[in-house]
A = this chain, B = another copy of it.
């Protein structure tokens, strides 16, 4: 069995044939033309895919697509995607008509979670939650090797749960969402505030490149800059409290972290482990929840989207 996995991003659409063992083939990349409307974009994309498929040695048996935004998995529709300006796009119908093959969709965070669960960091487990620490905080939930998405595929918005009642306003309309405290964007804001208050700190001196702030604050903390340490400790507090909530609600076997921040690896997971241990994983007498770093990296979206049609692990 071979499935075409497609990962729709904000600026480009990537894809590859993925084997039933989760192995990727050669990739195609289609840079989105923002001047095209959504139907035109579909037609352009089909041309790119048709050409790609004509060069491949294997035939595909189905297509899985991961999409940023709100997706109605039941109706096979993109309800709304802010970056792409797609609205009520019947994407499954478009693809099924063109390819005469089974097509499944989910949102990008869910796709990534399924990919990691089946073929990445979570492959030894049956129940995992994936948290992506990037521009926002994305969530994906895998229960009993299956994606749990909620009614119409509109659950699993783990980044949009209140952590700080009446806290910072969030793009979703609520206040104090987990995302506002634990995303890479949040860490950058927290670091900038610390630099403003401590302009002569090691951290301030190290932060010369605006685009590298999230990475630099970890570096400064490793160099024992007390200002950076305070930022990181507070960030770990926010992040771990959100992860403890996930432990208490899902009690998964593992939580897989992905996104920019997750590149800090063991330094990050050690700090989280220490925090979680203090609270006996949030509830007494409860089994350990492993904190892992994603293994598929940028390919988790493609492999995960294909996984929607791969039943075996």
Measured CB to CB, the residues of A under 8 A from B are 70, 79-80, 127, 139, 143, 148-152, 154-158, 160-165, 167, 172-174, 176, 181, 238, 241-242, 244-245, 248-253, 279-280, 282-287, 289
A234 to chain B, nearest CB (A): 11
Let me know if A164 and B161 touch, CB within 8 A. no
A sample of 23 inter-chain contacts (CB < 8 A) reads A70-B283, A79-B285, A80-B284, A127-B151, A143-B148, A149-B251, A150-B251, A154-B283, A155-B251, A156-B249, A157-B249, A157-B251, A157-B283, A158-B249, A160-B283, A161-B161, A161-B245, A164-B164, A165-B165, A165-B181, A172-B283, A173-B280, A249-B249
A252 to B155, CA, bound (A): 8
Let me know if B252 and A150 touch, CB within 8 A. yes
Let me know if B279 and A165 touch, CB within 8 A. no
A165 to chain B, nearest CB (A): 5
Stoichiometry, as copies per complex, reads 2
Let me know if B282 and A172 touch, CB within 8 A. yes
**A286-B245 CB under 8 A given contacts A164-B165, A165-B164:** no
- CB-contact partner of A286 in B70, B158, B242, under 8 A: B70
Let me know if B285 and A251 touch, CB within 8 A. no
Residue of B nearest to A247 (CB): B155
Residue of B nearest to A72 (CB): B285
A137 to chain B, nearest CB (A): 12
Let me know if A252 and B151 touch, CB within 8 A. yes
Inter-chain contacts of A167 with B (CB < 8 A): 165
**A284-B173 CB under 8 A given contacts A163-B162, A164-B164, A165-B163:** yes
- CB-contact partner of A80 in B157, B161, B285, under 8 A: B285
Let me know if B251 and A287 touch, CB within 8 A. no
Let me know if A250 and B286 touch, CB within 8 A. no
Q: Which of A139, A162, A289 is packed against the most chain B CB atoms within 10 Å?
A: A162
Residue of B nearest to A254 (CB): B151
A93 to chain B, nearest CB (A): 19
Let me know if A248 and B152 touch, CB within 8 A. no
A107 to chain B, nearest CB (A): 11
Let me know if A250 and B155 touch, CB within 8 A. yes
Let me know if B173 and A279 touch, CB within 8 A. yes
Q: Which of A143, A152, A155, A253 is packed against the most chain B CB atoms within 10 Å?
A: A155
Let me know if A152 and B286 touch, CB within 8 A. yes
